[in-house]
Structure 1
């Protein structure tokens, strides 16, 4: 059985998280500057030592220091002396990732793998526009035309709009207005840099679930300081990663320790403005992913940022200080106090507003899955560096990574864009051939003296060519595509 992870301590009280209960999820909450980042670091480091891989988003850049050994910090030394602890300063095995490829290995997925539900949220579409997007994904799936990047989706949308009448009976109405609205949203998405998120090679989750030569779990850190400037892209990407884990990992039951621990920083972005249908899917994923051996830990300033249906599933809790300056803050304090299992030694509602930096109220699940009584403690300092790594240190970690050089080489294989472009060219050639066959070669036309063709005749030839192309398209045997609970593509299940 895996050893418990010491997270916090105060005098004779030691608070441990049990590895076999770590997949019952958790919450780390507290105001800015109260110590949430160090708590994240201590938890991630503890899981890594047990051989559990970790994923975490680094919004401020501070977590990059985990790739380096700690030490030389007077405040940390004082806290260790206060708690009567000794720490072996050592760096953690870290893999850096970055959507933009600047501070880590590029993170990519394909349009098809993300699916219409999450992509609709990414584009902030209304219900009608989402329905049109869903129909376009279905057409592409049925035809076997891969949607890999944004140019594939744009080409597919243009094709669907031009053939809306042909598709209406099977896929519903595809209005030009809705297609135009989606196209405009795609342009906005590109200006935010999202075009770099889509393409190949797509991220393999196996590369997230690695251990080093010493058996320690690799800590995957997603550089998110630039990505965070586009909150919807940030939240959708992390939600897609979570859904991929849910869909592709096999059922594992109750394990001695998790297969992976996933930290979702700035969790309020996941739920802001999300439609009810998506919230229900998120709740379903969080509830069921535990059986896949994945622990999900939400990190937020305020517990009220998390919907009750999700909050009720978070068994392991670390509550840093909250500031009760507004009525909403006061409500948050009361809400947080009410969710802890009471301890006669701790006045939770009062303590929450009095906690110092690095101090927290903690309650973890015991061996029976029951929350332990809340304790007021100090978070144990980690052995890795608190603070960011230098650019040179980060670059060295990237260079020596196990996946170095693979994701940096972008691919662009044949997909919907190339297929539709080729069909358009073939349709044009058919049109020209049909004109020449009907009228013969116009010698006068070579010198500008040819007969002018009527508009209606030209349109008729073009229509015939289009119908011919449509028959060729319709004769293809579409691939059977299966999508998961959040609409992501399930590979190998066609």
Structure 2
């Protein structure tokens, strides 16, 4: 039987990075915590993505907070999706309750309350720095996948984008796209079909219905200008700490299509904008997607494929993506297989389905001579988790049941006045919160249609005047002929009367 010394050596050797790292906690075995068996995550491998999973109330959010504040301290920018509204406290230092110091004494690590610089972002009606993107930036391929249209309809969208490019019609928001689609099946149908091919009104109608569905989830607030520049996610403050960018999403839990649209847009923009980095000493950006099932539950197959592709490729840009969810099975297997760091909080086995999920989860972790993984998952307490990562050579570290460190920042949310203070003092808010609605496809085509209608009305009026003039001319001509005939008749009658008068005189 392995001794405690064997266990400590096993963990210490497995979690022994040579470069920068994040201290996550101390390993536990048989109910005892060992400060000498520290669990350290190498910064170098944090672009290999990860998973934070566990039942409600087991400490997932606090684990996310621990990672985010430590990454900020190390100069690594963070982007967090705050779906439940409980992450804002990272902007303020912890009040330093006694139990926090006691916990850190157990794991052999000093507790020092601290805060991170924070930006509050928004894609909905909540206050914050506005995140927007234009329709043109999406392009026809990405937009087709978001709308989940058929190949024929995707072809029509490609034609629409081409027509707009060729005729300098900016596609900025959904009303621009809707206007062009309507124009393509009405006033501009002949013009577009002559140059680009036939467009079915049934197909454009189907696309318009998809757009309306997206609008009903609030997408009109997301599409438009000014477009958010992803380089602004990588800012640092004057002390060298990287910003933690928190996207406030508490009002879109029932709008999965909007959430998926936003996430795919953001991932695609980061992938297309960030230069190739390969494996550096630390990531360029780390993203935490809370309630990750919202991306995958309602996503179409095409959209899910696109997300999976970007997750696989974005690592080379120095970007790490961490999914936070209740059960690992919420994340597709293709994505799950790409994850390097796994932090598994407790799962509860109330049903046969739960037990099956626990068994599957246990099989995704390295086999350990110190733990019965399936039973360990159900026995973990709050703030404890099974951890495995990748070492600096890319090999999985030993499985470690870990007592996690506590957040140095506030574990409660900010007050309304504290939130307002952060937004009011934000340089990004001044840059992105200005409303811009410059002339685009909607206005240009509306003006074109109105001008065509005026010209048509003028032409019609001109034609009517010609008809009236012609009719008047005909009436005048007819009148002249009639008058001539009458004059002739009258003249003839006068002549006859004259002749008859002469004859009468002669007969007398």
**TM-score, normalization by structure 1:** 0.84
Partner of 2:12: none
Summarize deviations over 1:10-41 as a string: whole Å, max 9, x none. Answer: 31321111111111111111111111101100
Flag the 1:169–1:437 CA change in 2: closer, same or farther, 3 A: closer
Partner of 1:82: 106
Displacement of 1:434 after TM fit? 2.9
1:421 aligned to 2:438?
Answer: no
8 Å CA contact 1:366–1:372 kept in 2: the answer is: yes
- Give me the whole-angstrom Cα distance separating, in 2, the residues matched to 1:362 and 1:107: 34
How many equivalent pairs are there?
445
Displacement of 1:267 after TM fit? 1.7
Displacement of 1:180 after TM fit? 2.5
8 Å CA contact 2:96–2:113 kept in 1: the answer is: no
- Give me the whole-angstrom Cα distance separating, in 2, the residues matched to 1:51 and 1:171: 51
RMSD: 2.3
Displacement of 1:134 after TM fit? 4.1
8 Å CA contact 2:140–2:154 kept in 1: the answer is: yes
Displacement of 1:144 after TM fit? 3.1
Partner of 1:149: 173
Partner of 1:295: 320
Match of 1:57 among 78, 81, 91: 81
Summarize deviations over 1:411-440 as a string: whole Å, max 9, x none. Answer: 011111011012112212322343355454
Residues 340-379 of structure 1 mapped to structure 2, 5 A cutoff:
340-379=365-404
- Give me the whole-angstrom Cα distance separating, in 2, the residues matched to 1:440 and 1:204: 58
- Give me the whole-angstrom Cα distance separating, in 1, the residues matched to 2:252 and 2:285: 23
Q: Which has the larger radius of gyration?
A: 2
Flag the 1:161–1:52 CA change in 2: closer, same or farther, 3 A: same
Match of 1:245 among 270, 275, 286: 270
Flag the 1:184–1:93 CA change in 2: closer, same or farther, 3 A: same
Displacement of 1:248 after TM fit? 1.1
**TM-score, normalization by structure 2:** 0.82
Match of 1:45 among 69, 91, 94: 69
Flag the 1:159–1:41 CA change in 2: closer, same or farther, 3 A: same
Flag the 1:13–1:32 CA change in 2: closer, same or farther, 3 A: same
Summarize deviations over 1:165-196 as a string: whole Å, max 9, x none. Answer: 55457655533233223333333433332211
- Give me the whole-angstrom Cα distance separating, in 2, the residues matched to 1:46 and 1:363: 18
Partner of 1:9: 26
Residues 192-271 of structure 1 mapped to structure 2, 5 A cutoff:
192-271=217-296
8 Å CA contact 2:20–2:44 kept in 1: the answer is: no
Displacement of 1:298 after TM fit? 1.3
Question: Helix, strand or coil for the counterpart of 2:253?
Answer: helix
Q: Which shows bigger deviation, 276-285 or 296-305?
A: 276-285
Q: Which shows bigger deviation, 79-88 or 221-230?
A: 79-88
Q: Structure 1 unaligned runs (5+)?
A: 450-494
Summarize deviations over 1:57-91 as a string: whole Å, max 9, x none. Answer: 10111100111111243543432233232222121
Summarize deviations over 1:326-362 as a string: whole Å, max 9, x none. Answer: 3442232222212222221111111011111111000
8 Å CA contact 2:46–2:320 kept in 1: the answer is: yes
Question: Helix, strand or coil for the counterpart of 2:385?
Answer: strand
Partner of 1:456: none
8 Å CA contact 1:26–1:297 kept in 2: the answer is: yes
Partner of 2:482: none
